Protein backbone atom coordinates (compact mmCIF):
# COMPACT_ATOMS: atom_id res chain seq x y z
CA UNK A 1 0.00 0.00 0.00
CA UNK A 2 1.33 3.46 -0.89
CA UNK A 3 1.57 6.29 1.56
CA UNK A 4 -0.47 9.20 0.14
CA UNK A 5 1.43 11.92 2.08
CA UNK A 6 4.66 10.68 0.46
CA UNK A 7 3.01 10.78 -2.97
CA UNK A 8 1.75 14.31 -2.36
CA UNK A 9 5.23 15.35 -1.21
CA UNK A 10 6.82 13.82 -4.34
CA UNK A 11 4.25 15.54 -6.55
CA UNK A 12 4.80 18.88 -4.83
CA UNK A 13 8.58 18.57 -5.25
CA UNK A 14 8.25 17.79 -8.97
CA UNK A 15 5.82 20.65 -9.51
CA UNK A 16 8.19 23.05 -7.72
CA UNK A 17 11.04 21.90 -9.98
CA UNK A 18 8.80 22.27 -13.02
CA UNK A 19 7.85 25.77 -11.89
CA UNK A 20 11.49 26.80 -11.53
CA UNK A 21 12.44 25.40 -14.93
CA UNK A 22 9.47 27.07 -16.61
CA UNK A 23 10.02 30.39 -14.83
CA UNK A 24 13.61 30.52 -16.08
CA UNK A 25 12.50 29.52 -19.58
CA UNK A 26 9.77 32.17 -19.66
CA UNK A 27 12.06 34.93 -18.36
CA UNK A 28 14.71 34.12 -20.96
CA UNK A 29 12.24 33.76 -23.82
CA UNK A 30 10.23 36.92 -23.25
CA UNK A 31 13.36 38.99 -22.59
CA UNK A 32 14.54 38.23 -26.13
CA UNK A 33 11.35 39.95 -27.31
CA UNK A 34 11.78 42.99 -25.06
CA UNK A 35 8.99 41.97 -22.68
CA UNK A 36 8.68 41.13 -19.01
CA UNK A 37 6.84 37.94 -18.04
CA UNK A 38 3.73 39.85 -16.84
CA UNK A 39 3.60 41.75 -20.14
CA UNK A 40 3.84 38.49 -22.09
CA UNK A 41 1.18 36.85 -19.89
CA UNK A 42 -1.16 39.78 -20.54
CA UNK A 43 -0.62 39.48 -24.31
CA UNK A 44 -1.23 35.72 -24.20
CA UNK A 45 -4.44 36.21 -22.18
CA UNK A 46 -5.91 38.63 -24.73
CA UNK A 47 -7.71 36.65 -27.43
CA UNK A 48 -10.36 39.31 -27.94
CA UNK A 49 -11.48 42.52 -26.27
CA UNK A 50 -11.28 42.02 -22.52
CA UNK A 51 -12.30 44.21 -19.60
CA UNK A 52 -9.20 45.26 -17.75
CA UNK A 53 -10.77 44.13 -14.48
CA UNK A 54 -11.36 40.65 -15.96
CA UNK A 55 -7.76 40.53 -17.17
CA UNK A 56 -6.62 41.44 -13.66
CA UNK A 57 -8.67 38.58 -12.21
CA UNK A 58 -7.45 36.15 -14.86
CA UNK A 59 -3.80 37.01 -14.24
CA UNK A 60 -4.38 37.30 -10.48
CA UNK A 61 -2.94 40.81 -10.50
CA UNK A 62 -4.16 43.92 -8.74
CA UNK A 63 -6.25 46.14 -11.03
CA UNK A 64 -3.82 49.03 -10.61
CA UNK A 65 -0.96 46.79 -11.76
CA UNK A 66 -2.90 45.85 -14.91
CA UNK A 67 -3.41 49.55 -15.57
CA UNK A 68 0.37 49.98 -15.52
CA UNK A 69 0.83 46.95 -17.77
CA UNK A 70 -1.75 48.35 -20.18
CA UNK A 71 0.04 51.73 -20.19
CA UNK A 72 3.34 50.08 -21.10
CA UNK A 73 1.90 47.73 -23.72
CA UNK A 74 -0.12 50.57 -25.23
CA UNK A 75 3.04 52.69 -25.38
CA UNK A 76 4.73 49.85 -27.29
CA UNK A 77 1.82 49.73 -29.73
CA UNK A 78 0.84 46.19 -28.69
CA UNK A 79 -2.60 46.89 -27.19
CA UNK A 80 -5.26 49.54 -27.38
CA UNK A 81 -7.85 50.65 -24.87
CA UNK A 82 -11.42 51.37 -25.89
CA UNK A 83 -14.48 52.31 -23.92
CA UNK A 84 -16.95 49.46 -23.52
CA UNK A 85 -20.05 50.50 -25.49
CA UNK A 86 -22.31 48.77 -22.94
CA UNK A 87 -20.61 50.43 -19.92
CA UNK A 88 -18.88 53.73 -20.65
CA UNK A 89 -17.03 53.53 -17.29
CA UNK A 90 -15.26 50.29 -18.27
CA UNK A 91 -12.27 49.90 -20.57
CA UNK A 92 -11.72 47.05 -23.00
CA UNK A 93 -8.18 46.05 -23.79
CA UNK A 94 -7.51 44.62 -27.26
CA UNK A 95 -4.45 43.48 -29.15
CA UNK A 96 -3.27 45.58 -32.05
CA UNK A 97 -1.93 43.89 -35.19
CA UNK A 98 1.57 44.35 -33.75
CA UNK A 99 0.36 42.82 -30.48
CA UNK A 100 -1.01 39.74 -32.27
CA UNK A 101 2.29 39.36 -34.13
CA UNK A 102 4.22 39.65 -30.85
CA UNK A 103 1.84 37.16 -29.20
CA UNK A 104 2.47 34.68 -32.03
CA UNK A 105 6.27 35.17 -32.00
CA UNK A 106 6.60 34.77 -28.24
CA UNK A 107 4.39 31.68 -28.19
CA UNK A 108 6.22 30.05 -31.12
CA UNK A 109 9.62 30.81 -29.59
CA UNK A 110 8.59 29.54 -26.15
CA UNK A 111 7.18 26.30 -27.55
CA UNK A 112 10.13 25.70 -29.91
CA UNK A 113 12.57 25.87 -27.01
CA UNK A 114 10.40 24.24 -24.34
CA UNK A 115 12.81 22.61 -21.86
CA UNK A 116 10.46 19.79 -20.81
CA UNK A 117 8.56 17.00 -22.48
CA UNK A 118 10.86 16.38 -25.43
CA UNK A 119 11.74 12.94 -24.12
CA UNK A 120 8.07 11.91 -23.81
CA UNK A 121 6.23 9.97 -26.49
CA UNK A 122 3.04 11.45 -27.93
CA UNK A 123 0.98 9.00 -25.85
CA UNK A 124 2.84 9.96 -22.67
CA UNK A 125 2.37 13.65 -23.47
CA UNK A 126 -1.39 13.15 -23.97
CA UNK A 127 -1.60 11.23 -20.69
CA UNK A 128 0.35 13.92 -18.80
CA UNK A 129 -1.82 16.70 -20.26
CA UNK A 130 -4.95 14.81 -19.21
CA UNK A 131 -3.71 14.25 -15.68
CA UNK A 132 -2.62 17.85 -15.20
CA UNK A 133 -5.90 19.14 -16.64
CA UNK A 134 -7.81 17.01 -14.11
CA UNK A 135 -5.58 18.06 -11.21
CA UNK A 136 -5.69 21.81 -11.81
CA UNK A 137 -8.67 24.04 -11.02
CA UNK A 138 -10.47 25.55 -14.00
CA UNK A 139 -10.03 29.24 -14.76
CA UNK A 140 -12.09 31.71 -16.74
CA UNK A 141 -10.62 33.19 -19.91
CA UNK A 142 -11.15 36.74 -21.09
Concatenate the DSSP letters of all residues of 19-79 into one string: HHHHHHHHHHHHHTTT--HHHHHHHHH-SS-EEHHHHHHHHT--HHHHHHHHHHHHHTTSE
State the average pLDDT over residues 73-100.
Answer: 94
Q: Tell me the average pLDDT of the chain.
A: 92
State the average pLDDT over residues 35-42.
Answer: 96
Does 96 or 7 have the greater pLDDT score? 96
Alpha-carbon span 87 to 16, nearest angstrom: 42
With 80 as the cut, is the pLDDT of residue 77 above it? yes
Phi, psi of 95 (to 5 degrees): -75, 140
State the average pLDDT over residues 114-141.
Answer: 86
Alpha-carbon span 98 to 120, nearest angstrom: 35
Alpha-carbon span 139 to 142, nearest angstrom: 10
Q: How many CA atoms lie within 13 A of 117 on its CB side?
A: 14
Q: Is 40 helix (H, G, I), strand (E, B) or coil?
A: helix
Handedness of CA 26, 28, 31, 36 (dihedral sign): positive
Task: End-to-end CA distance of the chain: give it in Å, rounded.
Answer: 44
With 80 as the cut, is the pLDDT of residue 90 above it? yes
Does 91 or 94 have the greater pLDDT score? 94
Residue 136 pLDDT grade (very low, low, confident, very high; cuts 50, 70, 90) = confident
Amino acid sequence: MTDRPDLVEDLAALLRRLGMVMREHIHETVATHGLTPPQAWALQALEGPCHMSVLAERLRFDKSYVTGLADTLEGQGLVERNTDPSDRRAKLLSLTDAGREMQDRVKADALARLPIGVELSDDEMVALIGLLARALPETDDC
